[in-house]
Amino acid sequence: MARKPAPAAETQSPDTPSNVSRDELLQYYRDMLLIRRFEEKAGQLYGMGLIGGFCHLYIGQEAVVVGLEATTKEGDKRITSYRDHGHMLACGMEARGVMAELTGREGGYSKGKGGSMHMFSREKHFYGGHGIVAAQVPLGAGLAFADKYLGNDNVTFAYFGDGAANQGQVYETYNMAMIWELPVIFVIENNQYAMGTSMKRSTRSTTLYGRGEAFGIPGEQVDGMDVLAVKAAGEKAVAHCRAGKGPYILEVMTYRYRGHSMSDPAKYRTREEVQKMRDERDAIEHVRELLLQGRHATEDDLKAIDKDIKDIVNDSAEFAKESPEPALEELWTDIYAEDLPQGSAEEHA
């Protein structure tokens, strides 16, 4: 493969950073592969008519969320857009529950009523899943505000795209987040396209993280096809936020291999462009090479992982197919909150 091939050696390959353990690399390989295989399966189920509505796959971007999740601790929060299945799997939500939600079944995280773009897990501190471009950015700042108010050291990751970065509410949020020194990391997943519009057509300033300067928010650009680079940058951002220094911006340079959604004619880029990224910059292939060249794993070890992942994904698809559709009465549930924390709305009126 085209990433500078390192010679096979008895000792660790020169391409393998010395501060990364074998277990860590294997974990990243597993986590990224789970997302990729899950998304491939979701694509198949969509093709079979088992998934309705919109479905935005994360294939190609796996290293972003896996690298950043590796920097989190219990209590940290995450919120993202409609391209959300990878984020759910990476924070530990069950493949079964995500797949069943995609197919609109009772066993799904939103009991089959939310679908691909609207899933949540209070237990894993995953706050969606949002279909309105950039809507999750102010909500993410709100989550961080809650943690600051409660006086803990949790951090919120608010993920959004390069297209969303042109929304006005992002900058209103930047201003308030900085004024209040909120512990929020704004993660711009710059995959170079907003639906069918390339960054080159829509944006003259190409360093999106640099826009934080106007508000006094530090940030940096990161290679999002390198999970280790993402993790290293994430650690820096997390340390900044946990130390109470306010928000941080990470612009993670990545690429999606599939269409914007399943109904994308993809006329805005060439097949060659996509193939080149897959061949030369694939994040999973990168870790695979580090594992093999560093002699951390054999082809057979990796095959065993591939099989495990395939089993998890196939099981999730079977579960999704067998789970019933939600009962009609479910239409009337989950509309209003039933247990309001610390007093009701009337008390505060």
Positions touching Mg ion (CB under 5 A) are 161-163, 191, 194
Does 131 contact ligand TPP by CB under 6 A? yes
Residue 173 is encoded by which pair of tokens? 């949020």
Residues between 73 and 92 with contacts to ligand TPP, criterion CB under 6 A: 81, 83
Residue 83: contacted member of ligand TPP, Mg ion, none (CB under 5 to 8 Å, by partner type)? ligand TPP
Q: Is 26 exposed, middle or buried (0-12, 13-18, 19+ CB in 10 A)?
A: middle
Does 331 contact ligand TPP by CB under 6 A? no
Residues between 237 and 266 with contacts to ligand TPP, criterion CB under 6 A: 260
Residue 98: contacted member of ligand TPP, Mg ion, none (CB under 5 to 8 Å, by partner type)? none
Phi-psi region of 93 (alpha: psi -120 to 50; beta: other; left: phi over 0): beta
* Interface pick for ligand TPP out of 109, 186, 193, 319 (rule CB under 6 A): 193
* Interface pick for ligand TPP out of 195, 266, 304, 331 (rule CB under 6 A): 195
Does 161 contact ligand TPP by CB under 6 A? yes
Contact track, ligand TPP, 278-307, x by CB under 6 A: ------------------------------
Neighbours of 335 (CB within 10 A): 7
- Which of the ranges 29-37, 108-116, 128-136, 328-336 carries the binding residues for ligand TPP, by CB under 6 A? 128-136
Residue 63 is encoded by which pair of tokens? 């290293």
Smallest gap from Cβ 260 to Mg ion, in A, equals 8
Distance of CA 300 to the CA centre of its chain: 29
8 Å CB contact between 89 and 95: yes
Residues contacting 257, CB < 8 A, separation 6+: 59, 60, 274, 277, 278
Q: Is 328 exposed, middle or buried (0-12, 13-18, 19+ CB in 10 A)?
A: exposed
Residue 164: contacted member of Mg ion, ligand TPP, none (CB under 5 to 8 Å, by partner type)? ligand TPP
8 Å CB contact between 155 and 132: no
Contact residues toward ligand TPP (CB under 6 A) are 81, 83, 131-133, 160-164, 191, 193-195, 260
